[in-house]
A and B are shown apart, each in its own frame.
Chain A
Amino acid sequence: MRRNLIIGGALSALMVLAALVSFVWTPFEHTAMDIPNKLQSPNFTHWLGTDHFGRDIFSMIMVGARTSIAVAVVAVGIGVGLGVPLGLWAAARQGGWVDEVIMRGNDLIFAFPSLVIAILITAIFGAGAVNAIIAIGIFNIPVFARVTRGGALPLWAREFILAARVAGKGAARISVEHILPNLANLLIVQATIQFSLGILAEAALSYVGLGAQPPTPSWGRMLADAQTLVSIAPHMALVPGFAIILTVLGLNLLGDGLRDALDPRLRVART
């Protein structure tokens, strides 16, 4: 099943490449309006057509990839940066009050419908990319805390951890030296999944106008713009939609592929 890894990797790489290239080159200035050429279908000049202001959709998609990736990366970073240490801490104190408090806190965050709270946060503290990142990132914390704790608990029961304790090592040192390296695969896979969910969430928030604000282009807002024009210019909805789908699909396939490639147990089970 190397196929998942290759297709997923290629799609994800394509998206990152589009974002990087957009810093130095786009076919048109993505903010340049050209009313006479508005709502054009894809053609040789405008490869993916133009929107209702005559802006080049291909250029907007490229620059929009930057927004999506930036929001998702930082949101995953928040989740990993806070969730992983919390999960390690909880696992090291399994059954104790620290574990109880951390896991109860997690349950509580899970009890909030994430998108509603994200809408609430962005609505109250102002729409924009930074608040969107925070809103999405907060909900990544319990995900990573849970995955880390869940992966760490069986490790704590393993004899090599007992051997490290007999060697006089403390919980913090064991967590960093023995637990974390053995969780790396799990966390990488989870990170790709959260990354793809982050892109979906960012798109949803910008669609309702609470994500990145104009003139920063974003795929979600392009879809919002397309909504009223969908019957006369379907490409305005199709193109950003496909961009989102391909990116998320690519990341999910990459996650599956990495899991298969990194987890030796799964590899054994398959042969």
Chain B
Amino acid sequence: MLRYTLKRLLSLLVSLAIASLVIFVVIEVAPGDPASFMLGINAQEDTLAALRAELGLDQPKWQRYVSWVGGMVQGDFGMSYQYRTPVAEMIGDRLWVSLPLALYALTLSTLIAFPAGIYAAARRGKPGDMGVMGATQLGVAIPNFWFAMMLVLIFAINLRWFSAGGFAGWDKGFFAALKSLTLPAIALALPQAAILARVMRSALLDVLGEDFMRTARAKGLTRGQALRRHGLRNAMIPVLTILGLQFSFLLAGGIIIEQVFYLPGLGRLIFQSISARDLIVVESVTMLLVFAVILVNFAVDLAYAAVDPRLRART
């Protein structure tokens, strides 16, 4: 188990190293010089050079990469070109919107999808299954940002249960903040829940066809008992994979949903920074998101091993 963990940890570090390099290169080849963008087209050549030096843009590329990565390891994400404030601070504030939103959505999605998937698998081919499957088929097809607009139209504009956008802030109390994240979280969660429920159902149905399920029934377990005691844990492996992928979707999907609800999260930060050519911010936010995704994959790998003794033994 320890060896397995170490091996996964190593591959996590390698992924991070390559990812940072890729992001750095992509942003480096991007057209547009931040310095001239900030000073406008009429800027003097010597002012530009001074600004470049101040921003560290005159250093060789590899040196800038090293100092960027080295800084990130110590929690220093550099200074924003645009606002001249530490990027870490900017990200820190926004993270308190984006991360809770993703977790909130993930929780909702899991709470909806698991029971729905199990229910559908248990009633395979019966009306209950058809109903759930029909609903998920539709759920998969709905773009989450459109769904968000519909939620706003119904629950904010017509019913006035929620505000149409903006974030109350955690200092206004936990529930006020949670309330302002509720519509966005639902918009994110439902389409994802549809996918997850389908995966849950098909994983369970696959397991139901296994020989050991017949052994379980031959012991005298009812269909439901066999499903719960022997089916679920074996079905968890594909479900965990999707759950890991979903976190990445939710973080990214959050960027778009933040636009719909005017939430001050990482998504809005990234769009503002792109339009202002504040590349260091774009670089760092992307890296942070990639880091989160890789970290979640690492956690999923560990969860696999917890579920499946064969994996623990193999490595």
Contacts and interface: CB of A to CB of B under 8 A. Distances in A.
Whether A and B touch directly in their complex, counting CB atoms under 8 A apart, is answered as: yes
B150 A241 contact: yes
Contacts of B271: 119, 123, 208
A166 interface: no
Interface in B247-264: 248-249, 251-253, 255-256, 259-260
B135 to A, nearest CB: 12
A234 interface: yes
A125 B30 contact: yes
Contacts of A271: none
A204 B137 contact: no
B260 A227 contact: yes
B15 A111 contact: yes
A84 interface: no
A207 B145 contact: yes
A176 interface: no
A95 to B, nearest CB: 14
Interface residues of B, number: 41
B41 interface: no
B26 interface: yes
Main SS class of interface, B: helix
B282 interface: yes
Given A111-B15, A226-B149, A245 B252 contact: no
A204 B286 CA distance: 18
A111 B290 contact: yes
Given A227-B149, A230-B157, A208 B290 contact: no
B152 A230 contact: yes
Contact of B142 (A113, A117, A231, A245): A245
B26 A121 contact: yes
Interface in B228-255: 245, 248-249, 251-253, 255
A162 to B, nearest CB: 26
Nearest to B146: A241
Given A112-B19, A115-B252, A208-B259, A248 B146 contact: no
Contact of A111 (B152, B157, B293): B293
B18 interface: yes
A41 B19 CA distance: 49
Interface in B177-197: none
A43 B93 CA distance: 48
Interface of A: 107-108, 110-117, 119-121, 123-126, 196, 200, 203-204, 207-208, 223, 226-227, 230-231, 234, 237, 240-241, 244-246, 248-249, 252-253
The 5 A-B residue pairs whose C-beta atoms are closest, nearest first, are A115-B252, A248-B141, A113-B252, A249-B141, A124-B30
14 contacts: A112-B19, A113-B248, A113-B252, A115-B249, A115-B255, A116-B270, A116-B286, A120-B282, A125-B30, A125-B31, A208-B271, A223-B143, A244-B141, A248-B141
